[in-house]
Structure 1
Amino acid sequence: MRKPTYAMRYVAGQPAERILPPGVFSSIGQALPSGVPLTSEERIRILVWNIFKQQRNEWLSVLKNFGKDAHLVLLQEAQTTPELVDFATSNYLAADQVPALILPQHPSGVMTLSSAHPIYCCPLREREPILRLAKSALVTVYPLPDTRMLMVVNIHAINFTLGVDVYSKQLAPIREQMAHHSGPVIMAGDFNAWSRPRISALYGFAREMSLREVRFKDDQRRRAFGRPLDFVFYRGLNVANASVLVTQASDHNPLLVEFNPCKTK
């Protein structure tokens, strides 16, 4: 029997809340509630990082030094340990996690930390056909000061497959959601794009959704078979700065990106 898909929301001073997927994707942008903007600043700062289930030392130090000033932190393989939940709820208004692996103590999956409460939240899961392990993704939406709505997709892509059918299947519900969203988009995470067919499927999806790829001048992203695994895609925004932080605190290096929320020409 397929396990239910849901997100767990962590907010300081409140019990954890289970959030189920919305029933109709087409409602995006039509009946979203109002909310406080993600930021009042001129830039949107994000950190994207596969945190390797917090198995290495210094992961918390990296988050404290580089994550606390970000408006969005998109983590993959995030375990809801007391230390991570405390950091998230102490520095952010909301932290939403989609459990993918139910480990003995704490579930692991994508987690999005945000400086404002999302006005839309859709958790997604897909099971790897070989190892039967699940990977998760999370779609959230936040108001911007200019009244537009920013869609944020945090994804940990399927890894072990024969061919790209299941890999592409994981992107299908994200495509459906983006197709009903007219505002700016950030899609980022660990895409496990380690083969030519996978990178072709990913770039084809990006073209179809009018997404641009963030380029890193000193590209120190984690690679497999010579190809980077972590990406940041966007539309309706301008990139102000982009860098890769080299660290031993995980088997992936964090990506730091600043976007200008003003409308592109």
Structure 2
Amino acid sequence: MRKKNFAIRYSAGSPAERIFPGIIGELSQTIAPLQALPTNGALSVMVWNIFKQQRANWLNVLKKYGLESQLVLLQEAQTTPELIHFATSNYLAADQVPAIVMPQYSSGVMTLASANPIYCCPLREREPLLRLSKSALVTVYPLDDGRQLMVANIHAVNFSLGVDIYQQQLKPIGEQILQHKGPVILAGDFNAWSRQRLRSLYRFSTLTGLQEVRFSHDWRKKAFGRPLDFIFYRGLQVEEASVLVTQASDHNPLLVRFHANP
């Protein structure tokens, strides 16, 4: 029997808490304004594979650019005391889906947000060759204009023959996006290093009605000439988008500022 997926929620002044999948159809449309993601008409998002914090200067990069963002989507985030302290000191909630669990820390996608999510769906997919897991997380946040924003943070499976497992990992995310009526952000490390994978990803974005964020100066990490990190969106408008060149990880962070009002 397959183990039930869960996320670990970290928040200031509270013990870490296991969060199990919610039911998307039970989301309430009446949310108190004080619980909403503070946008003031603009929503800044940072997306970064942080390489398990193995390189120097990662915390300085997070402090400089993450603190300007209401949402930070990390991949390969390792639950070190330094990262947890940063997250809980500056964000209301940090939700991580453990993909790899080690004696001291776990590693996986982590979403830091300036509001508590009203829905959380952790997902994991096992690498068919290495037998290690990759994780994804779907969360929903109320916006101050009354809408609800769905955010999907993914670290896609890397080593597989063909694209069956790749598409299998995307499928439950797509199902939730199609059910959601409000704006959507889907972002992360998609490991789209082959022509087949890239085609599958673009087919997925078309079927779910998502647009790709484009970068005029594209310094994203590439493999076999193809970018690995992407941001897709729906129901928002892009104001600015850039890629930060840094040695603090083996991936460069993506920074995007959305116009949040409908």
Establish whether TM, by shorter chain, passes 0.5.
yes
Give the match's secondary structure for 2:73: strand
CA contact (8 A) 2:67 2:90 kept: yes
Q: TM-score, normalised by structure 1?
A: 0.96
CA contact (8 A) 2:52 2:77 kept: yes
Give the match's secondary structure for 1:182: coil
How far 1:4 moved relative to its partner?
A: 3.1
CA distance in 2 between partners of 1:190 and 1:182 (Å): 25
CA distance in 2 between partners of 1:255 and 1:4 (Å): 31
CA contact (8 A) 2:109 2:153 kept: yes
Q: What are the equivalent positions in structure 2 for 1:62-81 lying under 5 Å apart?
A: 62-81=61-80
- Corresponding letter in the other structure for 1:181: H
How far 1:33 moved relative to its partner?
A: 6.2
Match of 2:21 in 1: 21
CA contact (8 A) 2:24 2:119 kept: no
CA distance in 2 between partners of 1:134 and 1:261 (Å): 34
CA contact (8 A) 1:46 1:70 kept: yes
Match of 1:159 in 2: 158
CA distance in 2 between partners of 1:160 and 1:147 (Å): 41
Match of 1:246 in 2: 245
Match of 1:170 in 2: 169
Match of 2:31 in 1: 34
Match of 1:135 in 2: 134
Tell me the alpha carbon deviations over residues 30-78 of structure 1, each in whole angstroms, 9 at most, x when there is no partner.
Answer: x366251111422100000000000000000100011012100000000
Q: Structure 1, unaligned stretches of length 5 or more?
A: none
Give the match's secondary structure for 2:76: strand
| Sequence identity (%) | 65
CA contact (8 A) 1:137 1:156 kept: yes
CA contact (8 A) 1:33 1:119 kept: no
Q: TM-score, normalised by structure 2?
A: 0.97
CA distance in 2 between partners of 1:15 and 1:25 (Å): 26
Give the match's secondary structure for 1:57: coil
Tell me the alpha carbon deviations over residues 87-143 of structure 1, each in whole angstroms, 9 at most, x when there is no partner.
Answer: 000010100000000123100000000001111111000101110010000000011
CA distance in 2 between partners of 1:150 and 1:3 (Å): 28
CA distance in 2 between partners of 1:138 and 1:115 (Å): 16
CA contact (8 A) 1:26 1:177 kept: no
Match of 2:48 in 1: 49
Match of 2:105 in 1: 106
Match of 1:235 in 2: 234
RMSD (Å), alpha carbons: 1.1
How far 1:26 moved relative to its partner?
A: 3.5
CA distance in 1 between partners of 2:120 and 2:206 (Å): 24
CA distance in 2 between partners of 1:173 and 1:93 (Å): 26
**Number of residue pairs aligned between Structure 1 and Structure 2:** 260
Tell me the alpha carbon deviations over residues 184-224 of structure 1, each in whole angstroms, 9 at most, x when there is no partner.
Answer: 00000000000000000000000001100000010000000
Give the match's secondary structure for 1:68: helix
Give the match's secondary structure for 2:68: coil
Match of 1:6 in 2: 6
CA distance in 1 between partners of 2:39 and 2:249 (Å): 32
CA contact (8 A) 1:25 1:176 kept: no
